[in-house]
Amino acid sequence: MSSKPQKMPKVAKVKDKSPAELQITAEQLLREAKERELEIVPPPPRQKISDPEELQEYRLKKRRAFEDNIRKNRGNISNWIKYAKWEEEQQEIRRARSVYERALDVDHRNITLWLKYAEMEMRSRQVSLEGKGVGYLSLLHA
């Protein structure tokens, strides 16, 4: 066994040791926390989109949110994949493809990213690998 002395955690030094004018009990803290918990407003109901203008507005808002997330953390591949999947759900295959291509510029060695991209292309019937004896990984190493 090692004979290293164990480090003690640093303790905050208190400058003013006189009691506060207003004393708060643990019970009060817990009660206030419970009250605040009840104050949490439930999320708004799902939005019903009734015309093409509203749909475009909704899509623009979502795209801005995805782009902001990517801008904050470019290296987080899950943000890129969520964005691309959302574009695919919107039947915007070209946009989804663009998102995957941009993500590959960030991390071209990420196998998950390549797999998701290939799966999307197969779902959209852009690539057919059936009966060709070609696996995903052989595509990655080509």
- Residue ranges of the chain with pLDDT lower than 70? 1-5, 40, 126-142
pTM for the full model?
A: 0.59
Q: How far is CA 44 from the centre of its chain?
A: 21
Domain total for the chain? 1
| Apex 114 CA angle, 86 and 99, nearest 5 | 40
Q: Residue 4 domain-assigned? A: no
pLDDT score at 87: 97
Which domain range does residue 94 map to? 52-131
Other C-beta atoms lying within 10 Å of the C-beta of residue 18: 5
Q: Residue 119 domain-assigned? A: yes
Q: How far is residue 20's CA from residue 16's CA, in Å, rounded to a whole number?
A: 9
pLDDT score at 140: 52
pLDDT score at 42: 73
CATH number, domain containing residue 108 = 1.25.40
Q: Are 81 and 115 in contact (CB under 8 A)?
A: no
Which residues 6+ apart lie within 8 Å of 129 measured at CB? 122, 135, 139
Q: How far is residue 17's CA from residue 35's CA, in Å, rounded to a whole number?
A: 30
Q: Residue 63 domain-assigned? A: yes
Q: How far is residue 63's CA from residue 58's CA, in Å, rounded to a whole number?
A: 9
